[in-house]
Amino acid sequence: MSKISVKIKRKKSAKPTRPMLVYLQIIYCRKVARIPLGIKLSDNEWDEQKECIRIPPGTPPEQVLHLYSMNTQIKERQQYIFYLIRFLKKNNTLSVANLLSACKENEDKMSLYSFMEQLSTQFAREGKKATSRHYRSTLNKLTLFSEGKDMRLDDIDETKMKQLETWLIEKGLAPNTVSFYLRITQSCWNKAVNTGLIPNAPSPFAQVNTRVEKTAKRAVEEKVMIQLAKLTDNELQSPTLKFARDMFLFSNYARACRILTSPTSKGKHKR
């Protein structure tokens, strides 16, 4: 039986500093296939002989963590390919075409965007329309964050979530809005763990703020209500302003009253 070769490669570029795609090269029965990993590295960040990421001297600490994270992702993807190869061999169905098909099926399952879309649709069917909108809104934000590129569920780590938090803050969003999007993403990650799509691991959200902060009260103060109540019709010459004042005061006065939904209602609560 022919041997199968699985190697990690990086596309060549005439410019060493230009980030290029990293991919898995598979050779079996004289057939060659490439599986892109969605990771781009410059020439000085890639060790061709060892087939792994290297840390150039002077790399900032944040980038070092990011490179380590990507290196782990690459190795995990390679190990998964080896698992698929063993599975297909066991079933006597090993071929480049079948291997690519199995990879694509796994990619669809591991897509964060597809998973969030499924959850949003599920919540809508269950009548949880607000939750469905929250997931869809978060999905839109994640799409902007990744510049339209899909994210894998197993790509969610502390570094990625910290980058997301920073990006949301830089967009000028309020702290509670930032934590809202992070909480929805965290909920999605938890559901993926519970369903077995990704292994249980320390939460990648430990270093980001998912709390709901207290905000300043925006209710109208009592003294403002008194001032409105004391306004005379002469002071409010416009009929529109008079109507607005009356409706606002009525809404405040009647907030603790039962309101009949139908003039024909009967019962002991009718007033």
Give the pLDDT of residue 132.
92
> Where does a domain end: 145, 179, 194?
194
Domain membership flag for residue 258? no
The whole-angstrom separation of Cα 150 and Cα 132 is 20
Give the separation between CA 228 and CA 142, rounded to whole angstroms: 45
Which has the closest alpha carbon to 35: 46, 24, 43? Answer: 24
Q: What is the pLDDT of residue 131?
A: 93
Please give the Cα distance from 83 to 74 (Å, whole number).
14
144, 70: one domain: no
| 161 close to 182: Cβ distance less than 8 angstroms | yes
Whether residue 66 sits in one domain with residue 17: yes
| Predicted pLDDT of residue 264 | 56
User: What are 51-91's pLDDT values in tens digits?
Assistant: 889 998 988 888 888 888 888 888 878 888 888 888 888 88
Task: For the chain, list residues with pLDDT below 50.
Answer: 262, 270-271
Q: Are residues 228 and 151 in the same domain?
A: no
Three-class SS state of 156 = coil
Residue 47 CA neighbour count, 13 Å, CB half:
10
Q: Which domain holds residue 246?
A: 222-252
pTM: 0.54
What pLDDT was estimated at residue 167? 94
**Domain total in the chain:** 3
163/236 same-domain check: no
Q: Are 204 and 161 in contact (CB under 8 A)?
A: yes
For residue 161, give both structure tokens: 């979530």
